Amino acid sequence: MDRPPPVPTPARPWHALLAPLPADAVPHRKPVAPPEVLAKPEGVAIAGWEQVVVDLSAGSAGLRVVMVVLDATGQPISASDAVLYRMKVAEQPGVVEYHHENIGGRLEADGTFRGTRWRSVTVETGPEEEVEREATSSEPTEADVTALKALVAELLRRGSV
C-alpha cells in the first residue's frame, strides 16, 4: 500500500509518526514489569510478557519511541508509536512549540486494531506567559493501522539486544 512520504520535522525525517525506522534503529526487549512486581500475586497475570522498544533521539530536538507488548506466548497484543519534538517559531522569537503525536492501542487476535491517534501542541511564549495547550484525538485510518502493523513486524524481525 502506498503511503505519502513522512512529513519532515526540524529534527529528522524519522520523527514523522508511522515513518519507517532508520536502518540503525536497534530494538530492546525487556519484561513489562520489574521482578518485584512479577513476584507479587497480581504479577502472575503478566508473567512472561515483554515489551520490545526502540528509542530514537535527536538530542534536545526530539524523541520517538516505538513499542510493542508481547504476551507470554510471544504474540503482539499492543503497539504504539510516539513522537515528541520541539520547534522554535521563526517569526516569533522566544516562542517554542512542543508537538506530541501518538497512535496506540490493542492488536486483537483476529488482526484488528482498537486504538486512538492523537496530537497535542504546547506553546510556550515566554517565562511570564501562560502556556497554551491543544489536544485532539481521532480514529486511526486504515493506512495508519497498516503502517503501525508494519512497524510491529519490523521490530519483531530485527529481534532484540
Q: Is residue 48 part of a domain?
A: yes
Domain that includes residue 139, residue range:
13-158
- Does 67 map to a domain? yes
pLDDT at 6 over 50: no
> Running DSSP on this structure, what letter comes out for residue 60?
B
Residue 1 lies in a domain: no
- List the end-to-end C-alpha distance of the chain, in Å, as a whole number: 30
pLDDT band per the 50, 70, 90 thresholds, residue 13: low
User: Confidence class of residue 9 from pLDDT cuts 50, 70 and 90?
Assistant: very low
Instruction: With respect to residue 138, please indicate whether it lies within any of the assigned structural domains.
Output: yes
Count up the domains in the chain and report the number.
1
Nearest CA-CA partner of 161 in 4, 58, 24, 65: 24
pLDDT tens figures, 48-99:
999 999 998 866 668 899 999 999 999 999 999 999 877 666 676 677 778 8
* pLDDT score recorded for residue 160: 55
Place of cell 493506512: 143
Write out pLDDT tens, residues 104-155: 999 999 999 999 999 988 887 766 666 788 889 999 999 999 999 999 999 9
What is the model's pLDDT at position 122? 82
8 lies in some domain: no
Contact 86, 99 (CB under 8 A): yes
